[in-house]
Structure 1
């Protein structure tokens, strides 16, 4: 491929016109450009910029675009009040560029800018699909060269691996969508538009396995709806992408002026999402809520999205007496009585006109989660109303859907035939916990975000005394996660073990999964068993006195299987497995490649 060039132009239309007379590719060639509000902060050291961002100091703004006529597009931008005060244009010119390559580079740069955090990204996310095109891998190598050139000029502070491991990137709304994600979002927009025009409520369900991008759909959709709501006729020249039709006419009228919130049951993910939303100008007003926030608050929403909706709670003994009283007070406030069968899903429905529920019923991990009959009823109702959307493309795990299915079979009473995923996915069995920990350390040094995780099969002794170990196996002493929020990025995480409540909803590059003695194998029957004595999540095995439910070992086994299914699908690049129960160890050892076999 030929060398690329980056033209630097002051964001003044006369200056752009002058450059265009010297380079005809500014008027008749596919290019990618960046317009930024560069100032003194841009030229400061990386350390100073990180400190400024940590303290919430205003960041300069940037817009990334692609066009076949840079001169005409700059004229349009110059007439836009939001961009008129930006100072500098960088135009990336490559003689091999075509429309597909430019769209891809535009998408990559927008995502990297958001994940890096140096600039506030002004772009909309009106619908880029992760489409293949001729020689894409060669172009993407060139994109990395372009990134490094821009990084040297101060556009980026971090490296690509650092950016792509950050929560700003992983929870960014600036994603290239898979085909089924784009179809789901288009159908959601059409349904919402029709329902709001008819002044009727609806419940839309998005169902998908781990790693199919349910959270991405939720975040992307929120940004898209906010963009639609804030678009004026002057902005429509930019609308030439997948969801352009929703930015005009009856669709825009129906989708404007929406009060939107997102409910996230897990504390850690909720905290991360709030931080990301604060970094995006058009999303700062969107509330990231607990179910209790929704029920006890006075706000009514046009739309509530619920991430991990299967983790909403039913009536059960809460974590504190205060929470128990809140459950009673909310039921009474919303429904006039404290009926024991009201769930947090009922609160969501009572406080919003429209709901979008993102569900994987196989990720329920506690008896207090929504019961299976309730989830089945929600799915059936959505199916009957043509409001059930399924995601199937595997985004997280490089082993793809085959790996997800294989994990399900590994944790069943009918194990699969032995299988290796070769170079596609690094699945390994370890006999020695110390060796697995060392390999996780190596992967973390190489690519970052590599952690040990485990089922709740050991007491949390270190919660009150940081000097004592929690997990002791093979002469290795480990502790549970110290941090309750953002543990994965915390300073000592590599030497700690994350629980299901810390990592559900997050991505790792490599996960070292410790399967404790809460999950065992009965050699005589060949069936998996739950060991109540080896399970230390009090809320995970607590009977439901309020509803008069006593949970059998077989019922609790379902939750423990789900826990290990979730843990074994966190790693994007690989999963390492260590098993404590001797009988189960022998079974999985015969089904999962060992370290020596790879």
Structure 2
């Protein structure tokens, strides 16, 4: 039996006056409330909700809201209310049916007594708000699996994420005050939340800039000290944007920005849009900065011409050594680069020597912020480090155990697909991916199968934009270009014959004849670079490292090369 109740009131001055007589807890008890109209929603918590409503009635940003739901529970305390408030804010933003008016600095994820018990109550409260009050359009599993939720700026930051953001902001505002231009690097493995804090920082900066100093600040966080008229004045006329090299991830982030007050989809840019801009930027946050391009043959012919034109516009001549990172530096006073030196997957990407140099320079300047805590993968040990070690020249000496994390090696591809389908039916977001070891026949011939293997016939992704959430994705195979930067609940990885193992030399080997990403093996005559098999092996190992670290709850593996399969059986 539930202990809570949800009361509904019109949001007007006359109703607020009558609240105290309805229930004394409206004046002296921790509660959570939801205010909304058809387009907007605001979630708050208070020990005196009647008094809080009087304050909201004076607020320009809340005046257009029409209804209030008050969640009352005799067992509520301050910690539980802060947790419920954060939970509902995340759910509303992930649902996407209304714009969330809250600041993101107040989102918490603190432990407290009996939290697990309260979490069950929170889910019941959500269901009542969804079914009885019709405030949500989607269920919790649907919301949690959505890009709007996974890429939301309303995330509760962990300790090292929050520390990094705070340190970056201290340096950024200090640089603004002194007039110094600067660049910082946030470095982290897959799943440490680089994209999350990139989005979080832009939302936080916009909240600081837009905050009305006359309105009480209803948050208590390490970022509260930035909500001052002085900080708002420093940000008043600044131009911000986020740069995302990959199209699929860029489109997903643009959808998040479109539904977030203070942010706009036009703030999400390609590197080419940055280079072409006639106005400089005050701050550019670059997600997946390792995927910025050096001068190389681009994916589309017109982009090669555009690369030359941007170089000439920005630097006066077309220097082939100039990279898209140079565009970022030229076009912005400040930049924040989200970086993982082990996620370069094509020769056109910034070379590993360059990304390591960037990280080393930032470290020397005291502007390198490492992220350590794994936020994606539900393993009790360093799964990402283990996978990278397995794919390295110095593999582990003994296999490791990752507790409840579901890591399995299959010798029957059909069985792996059936197991993955079971996971899809239970928790969703379970997808099959592969290395680019088969040509993309179905791109031109929709009836053709791309991958015919072990009695299975499969096709590559039919779309390159938001493939994971597309209707056909459950029956297709995604490539590195559709999943890098995304989370899955379960991932099935086919390691093709582009990667093999030499048991005599005891080393991984690359097979060029079975690697069909044309841009992934293309030489660079403009820079005089010819890529050897050893060079391309490093890119292919990085690709499989990325694919094998997408799954939150589990990773299933099928290996084509017999010798490599036997080797991996020692570790998986």
Q: Please state whether the residue corresponding to 1:456 is helix, strand or coil.
A: coil
Q: Would you say the 8 A contact 2:34–2:44 is kept in 1?
A: yes
Q: Which residue does the alignment assign to 1:329?
A: 309
1:73 corresponds to which of 44, 48, 52: 52
CA-to-aligned-CA distance 1:140-190 (integer Å, 9 cap, x gap): 111101101111110111110001111111111111111111111111111
- The reply on whether 1:317 has 2:297 as its aligned counterpart is yes
Q: How do residues 512-523 of structure 1 correspond to structure 2 at under 5 angstroms?
A: 512-523=492-503
Q: Distance in 2 between matches of 1:135 and 1:564?
A: 41
* TM-score, L = length of structure 2: 0.97
Q: Please state whether the residue corresponding to 1:237 is helix, strand or coil.
A: coil
Q: Would you say the 8 A contact 2:342–2:352 is kept in 1?
A: no
Q: Would you say the 8 A contact 2:295–2:527 is kept in 1?
A: yes
Task: Please state how far the C-alpha of 1:320 moved relative to its aligned partner.
Answer: 3.0
Q: How do residues 110-509 of structure 1 correspond to structure 2 at under 5 angstroms?
A: 110-152=89-131, 153-284=133-264, 286-416=266-396, 417-423=398-404, 425-509=405-489
Task: Please state how far the C-alpha of 1:373 moved relative to its aligned partner.
Answer: 2.1
Q: Distance in 2 between matches of 1:352 and 1:157?
A: 40
Q: Please state whether the residue corresponding to 1:422 is helix, strand or coil.
A: coil
CA-to-aligned-CA distance 1:408-448 (integer Å, 9 cap, x gap): 1221233321233232x111111111111111111111111
Q: Distance in 2 between matches of 1:320 and 1:14?
A: 63
Q: Would you say the 8 A contact 1:129–1:182 is kept in 2?
A: no
Q: Distance in 2 between matches of 1:316 and 1:286?
A: 27
Q: Please state whether the residue corresponding to 1:233 is helix, strand or coil.
A: coil
Farther-moved stretch of structure 1 (2-11 vs 162-171): 2-11
Farther-moved stretch of structure 1 (411-420 vs 29-38): 411-420
Q: Would you say the 8 A contact 1:236–1:247 is kept in 2?
A: no
Farther-moved stretch of structure 1 (6-15 vs 101-110): 6-15
Q: Please state whether the residue corresponding to 2:569 is helix, strand or coil.
A: helix
Task: Please state how far the C-alpha of 1:119 moved relative to its aligned partner.
Answer: 1.6
Q: Please state whether the residue corresponding to 2:29 is helix, strand or coil.
A: coil
- The reply on whether 1:12 has 2:20 as its aligned counterpart is no
Farther-moved stretch of structure 1 (450-459 vs 392-401): 392-401
CA-to-aligned-CA distance 1:120-142 (integer Å, 9 cap, x gap): 11111124342222221111111
Task: Please state how far the C-alpha of 1:240 moved relative to its aligned partner.
Answer: 2.9
Q: Distance in 1 between matches of 2:400 and 2:366?
A: 38
Q: Which residue does the alignment assign to 1:44?
A: none
CA-to-aligned-CA distance 1:83-118 (integer Å, 9 cap, x gap): 112111111111221111111111110010011122
Q: Distance in 2 between matches of 1:299 and 1:275?
A: 24
Q: Where in structure 1 do 4 or more consecutive aligned residues deviate above 3 Å?
A: none
Number of equivalences: 570
Give the RMSD, CA atoms, in angstroms.
1.4
Consecutive unaligned residues in structure 1, runs of 5 or more: 39-59, 593-598
Q: Which residue does the alignment assign to 1:37?
A: 37
* TM-score, L = length of structure 1: 0.93
Q: Distance in 1 between matches of 2:570 and 2:363?
A: 40
Q: Distance in 1 between matches of 2:320 and 2:167?
A: 35
Q: Distance in 2 between matches of 1:93 and 1:133?
A: 19
